[in-house]
Every structure is written in structure tokens, then in C-alpha cells.
Structure 1
Amino acid sequence: MQLMNLLRITDNNTEVITINYQELSKEVSYALRHAPSEYGLILDENGWVDVQGFLEALRKKNKWTLVKLDDLICMIEASDKKRHEIVNNKIRALYGHSIVSQIKKEIAEPPEYLYHGTARRFIKSIKEKGLLSQERQYVHLSVDEETAYEVGKRRDQKPVILRIRAKLAFVNGVSFYKGNDKIWLSDSIKSDFIEF
């Protein structure tokens, strides 16, 4: 994502504004994943909020006074990682929530294998306890090793990539939820289903 110069034509004038979609995406993620109450928002059980109310909340932040629905749509389309969606005049973050109330997800059958990138210092704990959601609502899993590696690099320059026997875990009662095309979620994964 990048800076975008937009030409806006209003009734009385024409203006050029610059929107940094990466910064907007971070703000939207923060509001919808971690701090809706700071914006005066109440998410429904599936994480949705009215998009017009959300825009009003964003505009109260000095930096985003000119943000419009088209900007949110462009931000979502410009993103290489699908983090948000707008449907029926509502917006939500697809995954990554740390708020207290659980965002409900629909159980879905995962692919045979999923991957999780993690710091080397966590391996001992994962072998003992499995993968736990920690400060997030769900364990985040990737459909490919490359994505898992990039996620793991956030906490370790040489992360360990774990292969999760997702299909086997699923048939043994572990719930999985699709986050987006590259991200899957689970409540927890026992070490029995993890290849170290």
C-alpha cells in the first residue's frame, strides 16, 4: 500500500488530498480489532459495525477528517493482505481481534496442512502446551510457509515454521475458521497435531 493523491470535486471547488492507505489500514485495524470503545463503536457478535458510523468515528480523529467510503474501499482493494471487508453497509476486520468479547466465526474444514511461524524461544512451550491464542482471540495459521515465515519474522529474524496437520486435527474435533484466502484461525492446537 502507498500514498495516493486523490482529486475530489465538491459543489464549490476541487481539491487534491493525499491518503496514506497503509496508515489508514493501521488505524482501521486498531479501531476494529483492538479498541472499538476508543472510537465509540460497538461491534456486533461477528465483528461488524455500521460503515457510516465508523466513518464518523474516524473523522473525529484529526488525521482522518476527509476520509470517505471510497477511501475505505480503495484501502481494502489496495491491500496485499485482506484484513477488512465491507458488506451491506457494514465494515469489519476479518481476524486479529484482541477485544474481550469473542468474535464468532463459522467453523470450516481446513486444508490438509496449515503453517505457523513462531520465535525459537517459544518452541519449548508449544511442545508442552500446544499453540494457544495468547493475547489474540484465535491462533493464526497460514496456508503457505512463506506467509508463516513473514509472520514469524515479526518476533524472530530466524523464525521456526511449524506444520499443522489441520485436517487430522479437524476430524479429531479441533475447530478451524477461515480468516481470508491466506489466514486460518483456530481456538488452540494440541502439540499432537504439530510437526516441529
Structure 2
Amino acid sequence: MDEKSTVRTSKFLSRVLRHDPAAIGIVLDEGGWVDVEELLAASTRAGRRFSRAELDHVVANNNKKRFAYSDDGLRIRASQGHSVEVDLGLASAEPPPVLYHGTATATLPLVLREGLKPMSRQDVHLSADVETALRVGSRHGRPVVLVVDAAALATEGHIFRLSANGVWLTDRVPPAHLRQYTG
């Protein structure tokens, strides 16, 4: 599978498994899972044919580890980032003292005023390192990285969960717990 096909299939899977499963006629269970064979058949009917081996390649080689198989390998889901209602079943976890969030410079004033909100997603996504946050922020324009005082948030009772691909999830981050990263 060449890089272009891998990216195209990954984007398709992100749309279907995170945002619009009905687009190809599948239904995710409460945990966001769908049977692999059902996904492959529905994708083919929708004009996006790929094999199990190609799906395995996308899951294994996605640099953001966006997808995961069930332990038995029979089901697949997105690791996080859903706009459709799912319960990933992630246990709460103690975050590191500081986490990071990447955004575009154009949105910085609003974020510093209102804090981080999940917007169309179920959770706010945070990273454990500046490099990842910078990469995420650059997808939306000129990037800026925000430092999140995760220790203070946890002390105040905010719940954090860690997704299978290392993304930290929480419901919101009030502006008092944000500052711009300066290096």
C-alpha cells in the first residue's frame, strides 16, 4: 500500500469511525467499536474498497495511532476524537503536572478568554509534549502552544483519561489554567 493510499484510507476511516458511521451504513456500539468485516463490506458498498491487509497496514502505520483493534482483532474503533457519542471506557488517570495544547494563533485570544472546550468533539485533547502540540496547532494555521496546569485541574476535581494512542482527554480547561508556551 503506497503512502497516498494509506493517507486516503486513514482519512476515510477517521471520518467514518469518529464522525459519520451512517455515511456508509454502519452503527458503532456504545464503545465505538464496529466489526471489521462489517466495516470492510460497508466501505466496499460505499465505493471505498480496501482489504483486511490494507486495513492492518493503516492501523499499524498511522503515525498518530488513531485506530485500534479489539484484543481478538475482530473489531476496530477510533482511539479518540469522536464527535458521535461513544464511551471509550477509559479509566481516569493521574496526569503529569503539565500538559500541552496546540491551536492556531488566530484563536488564541478566544481560548485565553474562554478556555479550552471540546467544541464538536467529546473531549479536549491534550498532549504530553510540546512537539505534538505544535504539530496539532499547525494543522489550523500559524501554531501556538498552550501550557495546561494539569496538576491544578486534577486537584480541583477535573477528570483526565489517557487514550490508547497517548492523547490526554478532559472535559474542559478553564482559562485560569492556561498560559502561552514561551520555550
Q: Residues 162 and 194 of structure 1 are in contact (CA less than 8 Å); yes or no, is this contact kept in structure 2?
A: yes
Q: Who is 1:168 aligned against?
A: 152
Q: How many residues align?
A: 177
Q: Who is 1:187 aligned against?
A: 171
Give the SS at the match of 1:154: helix
Deviations 1:135-161 (A, max 9, x none): 11111111111111111111222x221
User: Are 2:43 and 1:76 aligned?
Assistant: no
Deviations 1:71-112 (A, max 9, x none): 21111111211000111211000111112x243442222222
Aligned alpha-carbon RMSD (Å): 1.8
Counterparts of 1:33-52 in structure 2, within 5 Å, are 33-52=18-37
Return the alpha-carbon distance in structure 1 between the equivalents of residues 69 and 113 of structure 2: 40
User: Are 2:72 and 1:86 aligned?
Assistant: no
More helix by share: 2
TM-score, normalization: structure 2? 0.88
Label 1:63 to 1:43 Cα distance change in 2 as closer, same or farther (>3 A): closer
User: Are 2:95 and 1:96 aligned?
Assistant: no
More strand by share: 1
Structure 1 spans left out of the alignment, 5+ residues: 5-18
Residue type matched to 2:55 in 1? L
Return the alpha-carbon distance in structure 1 between the equivalents of residues 172 and 9 of structure 2: 31
Shift of 1:181: 4.0
Residue type matched to 2:169 in 1? L
Higher relative contact order (CA 8 A, sep 6+): 2
* Percent identity between the two aligned chains: 35
User: Are 2:13 and 1:20 aligned?
Assistant: no
Deviations 1:2-60 (A, max 9, x none): 617xxxxxxxxxxxxxx811111111111101110111111122111111111111111
Q: Who is 1:139 aligned against?
A: 124
Structure 2 spans left out of the alignment, 5+ residues: none
TM-score, normalization: structure 1? 0.83
Shift of 1:195: 2.1
Return the alpha-carbon distance in structure 1 between the equivalents of residues 89 and 158 of structure 2: 14
Q: Who is 2:99 aligned against?
A: 114
Q: Residues 114 and 165 of structure 1 are in contact (CA less than 8 Å); yes or no, is this contact kept in structure 2?
A: yes
Return the alpha-carbon distance in structure 1 between the equivalents of residues 97 and 62 of structure 2: 27
